[in-house]
Structure formats: C-alpha cells, structure tokens
Chains A and B, each alone.
Chain A
Amino acid sequence: MSVADWRLIYEIGCANHLPALLFYKLKEHRIVFPAEMETMLRTDYLRFSGNDLRRKAQLHEMIQLFNARGIDHILLKGSHLAEKFYSNSALRPMCDIDVLIEPSDFNKAYELLVEAGYISSKPNNHDSQSGSNKHFPTLLKEGGLAIELHWNINSQSNDHNMEPLWSRAETMTIGNLKTKILSPEDLLLHLSFHRGYDHLFASSLMLLNDIKEICSRSAVDWTKLLSLATSADEWGNTKCLFSALYLCHMLLGVNIPERVLTQIKPDDFDKTHEQLLIDQLFCRIDADMSTYGSVNALYKLNRGLNSRLLLKYLMSPRKICLTYDKKYSLHVLPGLYCKGIIEKSGCAAKAFVEILTNRNSRKLYETSKASSKIEKWLKS
C-alpha cells in the first residue's frame, strides 16, 4: 500500500474515533506500516490512553457520589462498553459519560454534581426535559468529560416506558463500586437505535466493533432480543437493529444467527439499501455540525416544505427558550423567535452560497442527500 493509502486509512480511523484501535490491531497482527504513520498512531494511542485514565477517575467519582446518596443509575454506551466489553478500555473512546437516571432523582444528582464542580451547559434551564435527546442539559467540568443524565433512551418516543428496562438491568462492579448496566439485549438495541436513528449510521465503524465485542464476550439471548425489538411496548423498531447486525455480520464476520437476520429483515431491504448503509459508515462530514445542519436543511427545503420540517425549525416556545438558555416567559418569545429566524436564515444563505462556490460544500450536499435517503428508509 502507498503512503497515500495509509493516510486514507488513518483519516477514516480518525473520523470514526478509532486511531487507538487501528494502532493496536496493526501491532497485534504485526502489520508493517510507514514510520510516519506509526508516530502519528502512537501519539494518538497514548492520548486516548491518557484520556481513558482521566475518564476512569471521573466515572469513579460520579458513581461514588451517586451511591453515597442512593441514586439508582445505569451506565450507558461508552462507559458501559469500555468497562465491560473492551479488554483495553483505551480502545473505546467516548466524548461524554452517559447515565440513565430516574427523572425524580434529577435534582439530587444535579446538586451533587454541581457540588463536585460541574456546571450546567444551560444554567437557566438546567432541569429542562424538553430536548429531543432524552437527556437533561449537559453537565461540564474543566478538564473532564461532559456528563449527560438521560431520563429516556428510546430515540423514537418520549413516552417510552423505562420501567421494564430498569428491571432487566444488571449489576456490575467497577473497582470496589457497584453500578448498573443495561442487559446485553437492551445494550444492542440501544446502540443500534442510537447510531441508526440519531446518526443515520454516519461514521459508525465503532458501533460495529462494539457489537463484535458484545457478541464475543456475552451470551446474547437472541430470542429475547427479537422479542424486545419487535414489541411495541419495548423498542418497537427492527430496522436499526437489522442494519447494525447485518453490517457486522457482512463486514466483520460476526456470528449473528441466520434466523435473527431473516426474522427482522425489512421486506423492502435490497442491495441499494446495503450500499447506502455502507456509504454512511464511510461518509466523512468535513464540516462543523452547524454548517452540516444548514446544508442538510437546505437539501430538505429543496425537496419541498412540509409541516414536520417547519415545526422542527420553528420550535416550541419551551424549546426555543432552552436553545438560547433563557428562562421561559412569554415576553422573551418574540425576541427569541426573531433571533432564531435571523440566525437560521443567515446560516441557510451562507450554506447556499457555499454550495454554489465551494466544492467541499457541494460534497456535503451530496452526503446530505444520501443521508436523507437512508433516514427516510430507517424512519419509515
């Protein structure tokens, strides 16, 4: 392979937050690669390992605080995976610590974390539940990861009943601390749902590795998984799960029982969808999320205005107050809506000009187009 090929692999690894895993695997399989690449990957690896040690200390502190005050909690996503399924937790980076709590425990948890030096990303709306991400506003601490306290983890519905999920949760010990984690079946569903529904599987190679680790280190009850995926009272979505398991099976050779894939395979799934999903895995959004959001909105506008889109951009009064972190009151609303419309119009105009003049923005528009196709399919 040429240096350019190696550079491309490195870039894909970085886009998927995988340089540490890439370095580890190359070394494990004794694959010879350019010295320049080795220096870059080693530096990344050591940085990831250092961040992981910081995260462990932070997680330990958080669990200790919650346990001392009897706050029941379930570790989600990265922390759960790194602690339970990765033999080397440095290989599973994360950008925040996600925890599920009961909404009634929020004030207690918030006060504890504030006492420990955290501040809310939305101090005026710190207890707001109106966000679409099923979590309270993020809690931040200098030099540490953000903590997201979730009250729901079903991307499809705000009214999802979380009680059965709590009853299926398992206990785990980290160091000398007891904590809770999702059952392997709920974890698989949550991860595929989150990456599929919320991120449309864009740059989701890490998800495939997560599933590979889960399947190789725990006894997944496939019958239970199917029942939870198909039940409307539980996760009630099989497209995201199928897509994730199918990609894992096809690209990483993970042993997923044939009957599972057959049973949840969507009727309309074909080679086009397969290619769209693979493209999503490798798509690179070389822009900040605000620019990408504007380009995405333009693409959707171009396809025609619809009530769902208008509602999304006009936002509810409570949501616009949360967006600009203003305390909810009627007299601030006109100003906030004006501000929102001016800002969004400005972003859209800027994105429009960039699409016309800039090749990268045109590429972004095409990425958005492809994402929209898979979004339509996943959410139908």
Chain B
Amino acid sequence: MESNKAYPVANPMVVFRTEFDDWSVLFDPDANQTFGMNPVSSFIWEKLDGKHTVKNILEEIREEFEEVPDEAPAQLNNFLSDLEKRGLVGFERVNQGV
C-alpha cells in the first residue's frame, strides 16, 4: 500500500475527458486503451495533481460525497494501485528531512 505521505500524480500523457454527467473517460495513447470512470473515480483523478496526498484525497471525498463507506480508504488505495500498475499514475514522495 502506498504511504499516505506520497503524492499521487496522473500520467501527463493520459487524456482525461469529463462527460456531461460527471462520468469520464481516460485515454492512454501509449497503450491505446480507454477506461470509463464513474463520478467518484473522476473526482479522484482530478486530485492526482501532485499536491494532494492519499489522505487529503480521502478527506475531500468525504466532504464531496454522501454515505462514504468505511472501506473507502482501502478502496482508494486499491484504485490508485491499479492505476499505477497500468502506468496511469505515479507517486512522488517528499523527503521528510533527517
């Protein structure tokens, strides 16, 4: 599992298209693959800017959506791991100093 101190960043080559109803589509031109994303996944994707930690993203999900399940932290980590495996997301780690 990625550390909560890590800052996930979306692969800049990936095209993100927001649809008219808050769903969205990702297009990875390198793999020529596309992915449909529901409003929660789309919301998360927009936070993958290298400025939000996983913990920050989780907090913002709780503010934005109702009835966020208890399993949300695990689901978020799984989602990010899946994106990382597909090369759609990387993680930046900030040095905490010695």
Contact = CB atoms under 8 A, between A and B. Distances in A.
Contacts of A45: 19
B91 interface: no
B96 interface: no
Interface in B2-20: 15, 17, 19-20
Contacts of A57: 15, 27, 29
Contacts of A47: 34, 36
Q: Which size class do A's interface residues fall under?
A: 10 to 19
Contacts of B20: 24, 27-28, 88
Contacts, number: 39
A54 interface: yes
B32 A50 contact: no
B41 to A, nearest CB: 12
A50 B25 contact: yes
B65 interface: no
A50 B25 CA distance: 6
A5 B18 CA distance: 31
Interface in A1-50: 24, 27-28, 42-43, 45-47, 49-50
B90 to A, nearest CB: 21
A315 interface: no
Given A42-B23, A46-B23, A46-B25, A53 B32 contact: no
Contact of B17 (A28, A43, A53): A53
B38 to A, nearest CB: 9
A175 interface: no
B18 to A, nearest CB: 10
A350 B29 CA distance: 44
Interface SS, A side: helix
Nearest to B36: A46
Nearest to A61: B29
Contacts of A50: 25, 27, 34-36
B13 to A, nearest CB: 11
A257 interface: no
B36 A43 contact: yes
A53 B25 contact: yes
A51 interface: yes
Contacts of A88: 20
Interface in A49-74: 49-51, 53-54, 57
B63 interface: no
Nearest to B16: A53
Contacts of B27: 50, 53-54, 57
Given A24-B20, A27-B20, A43-B36, A49 B29 contact: no
A143 B32 contact: yes
A28 B21 CA distance: 10
Contact of B19 (A49, A54, A143, A144): A49
Interface of B: 15, 17, 19-21, 23, 25, 27, 29, 32, 34-36
Interface of A: 24, 27-28, 42-43, 45-47, 49-51, 53-54, 57, 88, 90, 143-144
Given A27-B20, A53-B25, 5 more contacts: A46-B19, A49-B36, A53-B34, A57-B29, A90-B19
- 3 pairs of A and B residues whose beta carbons are closest in the complex: A50-B34, A46-B36, A53-B27
8 contacts: A46-B19, A49-B34, A50-B35, A53-B17, A54-B27, A57-B15, A88-B20, A144-B32
